[in-house]
Chains A and B, each alone.
Chain A
Amino acid sequence: MTAAATHTGAPIRAKRVLPGFTLSLGTTLLYMTFIVLIPVITLILKGAEIGPERFWRIISSPRAVAAFQITLTAALIATAFNAIYGLLMAWVLVRYEFRGKRILDALMDVPFALPTAVAGLSLTALFSANGWFGPVLDAMGIQVVYTIWGIALAMAFTSVPFVVRTVQPVLEDMDPALEQAALTLGARPWAIFTRVVFPAILPAWLAGCTTAFARSLGEFGAIVFIAGNLPFRTEIAALLAYIRLEEFDYNGAAAIALVLLAFALVLLVVSNVLQAWASRHREASR
């Protein structure tokens, strides 16, 4: 039925409601190039200058390996904690009405808004030997400050909003009829949660957890105060890169940074694959 139109020349295009596609796309691409793409490319080029042999020597040095191990382990601990706590928090904020709910909701953004150095300082003050929590934990034989637990704590603090804020809207938009349907079909609360609610929020939860993990890997400001920064024990990868930079060892810094970048990219891919898998029923209709 469009034959007549196509014969006359250029196809007729639908007019957009708001014009400016070219302009807005151009601006976006330009911005992305300067802010994201060029720095990443520079980093890769810097790394390429080193040559594979030296590169490998830098990143496989015992101190660097220890730093990567510490960073990964702490980030895993922090993410495991946030995966559960963040989900719980989102649940409470969506499902219940209580006094002070809005304040709690607003507090959830504090880790985003607070300068990470301030977070690191206050956490250190609280958990150090003469802080509020330090002596109590000390009595129980738990040392937080200057250990990997301190690093995980600082990471958890700065990354928990990622989980809460990705799960929350999905949970809010869930049709209450789904749970009611499960109820009328005889499902008990635990079955309703595991078989109806959780699968619905799974993609968002996975996305939240992976971004929280990525953020934890890169966290710096909050950690350096509480970690003590002892090489081989509590020195994180980002700090090691910083130290190399201070020593004017640009290659050393770039190599370590590249490894962090690789981690981040792998995470991005994993995150997308997981989300696609968890929402395969939605893809199926397209």
Chain B
Amino acid sequence: MSITISGLTKRFAKTDVLRGVELGVDKGELVALLGPSGSGKTTLLKIIAGLEWPDTGRLRVDGQDWLKLAAQDRRIGFVFQHYALFPHMKVRENLAFGLSVRPRAERPGKTIIAAKVDELLHFLQIDHLADRYPAQLSGGQRQRVALGRALAIEPKVLLLDEPFGALDAAIRRDLRRWLRGVHEATGSTTIFVTHDQEEAFELADRVVVMGEGQIAQIGDADTIHDHPATPFVARFMGATVELPVTLLAGRAEGAGLDLSTLPRRALPDGAGRLFVRAEDITPVPEPDAPWRIVSRTSTGAHLRLVLRHPKLGEAEAEVPRRAVRAEALTPDAAVRLKIEAGTIFSSAPNSAATQPSLQTKPIQLERSQ
């Protein structure tokens, strides 16, 4: 089923949760909605499910207007973050629920339902759990049952809200591969919500980055990583060091910065801001350079350096501990910052955003521009 979303807005009390969302999802695609909490990704998912209703906008699935359809009639599979299994039903009964509540005319016979449940138990590799109650299952097992329950109704669209959010790392990785397999076997259109970049990129065909109720960027891992579309995406992807630069004929210059490795960009002349990851900054000792090393902490494989510029404030760099010149990077050393990779945004159109001071901002996931 292909999904077309346009102009979707939603307000909760005084907060705009969605501010004009446009998105198309193709049949059989596996899409991740990635974003910090409060970005509106779960609300978007719930609107597709029919558990929330937008204030304005359109939602069409295979040409059908889903905003005229109640959740019960959409035939979607929804998997909740905390599983939401029915606690008083055994696994078998949980899986059968969707089929057994159908109106009598469409309801399959008892033996057909039982056979379908057996098939699902086998497909999900949870045969041995059939007669247990949810309280007797581990988190990973519960999540499998939750997915099975959703798949039992042969959904047109499968929606998952932070499906692995409550599980520990090893099980998470396991289930991720397993979900990919399930998706490929069923061929259903699947959308899942996550705040975990690794999860989004590893699992999805396409990643939709959301921030502040809007779609910030759509793309694959490399594109979003190397070419963030907005400062928000850059920060969200880990480029937390923000430095002021001056643009001239597509080349950037900055105080104590070596930007020669950055490619020429089609940006207007004037002020700009550079977003860079700490590991893409290589401090190079140089007697007259304006940056000073303030502190040096080892994380084993890396050295984490805090750098200070008399006018611009602090920045952070991370270099391999066994790098050639690492010994020279001691506190108080004067360094130039060689920028290996980064993204520059012109400050020209909205110069109000340009701040003279420079600082390493912590990732402000909740607030961004």
Please list the residues of chain A having a beta carbon within 8 angstroms of any beta carbon in chain B: 175, 177-178, 180-188, 191, 195-196, 199-200, 281-282, 284-285
Contact = CB atoms under 8 A, between A and B. Distances in A.
Contacts of A187: 72, 97-98, 101
A185 B133 contact: no
B75 A175 contact: no
A180 B80 contact: yes
A124 B84 CA distance: 50
- The secondary structure that dominates the B interface is loop
Contacts of A186: 72-73, 75, 98, 101-102, 153
A181 B80 contact: yes
Contacts of B82: 175, 177
Interface string B72-84: 1111111010101
B153 A177 contact: no
Interface of B: 49-51, 71-78, 80, 82, 84-90, 97-98, 101-103, 132-136, 149-150, 152-153
7 contacts: A175-B82, A180-B78, A184-B72, A184-B78, A186-B72, A186-B102, A188-B72
A285 B50 contact: no
B87 A195 contact: no
Contacts, number: 82
B76 A184 contact: yes
- Residue of A175, A180, A199 with highest tally of chain B CB at under 10 A: A180
A184 B101 contact: no
- Residue of A177, A191, A199, A282 with highest tally of chain B CB at under 10 A: A177
Given A175-B82, A184-B74, A196-B86, 12 more contacts: A177-B80, A177-B82, A180-B84, A184-B50, A185-B97, A186-B73, A186-B153, A187-B97, A199-B88, A281-B87, A281-B135, A284-B133
A191 B101 contact: yes
- Residue of B78, B80, B86, B90 with highest tally of chain A CB at under 10 A: B86
Contacts of B78: 180-181, 184
B97 A182 contact: yes
Contacts of A182: 86, 97, 101
A188 B152 CA distance: 17
Given A281-B135, A284-B133, A285-B133, A184 B87 contact: no
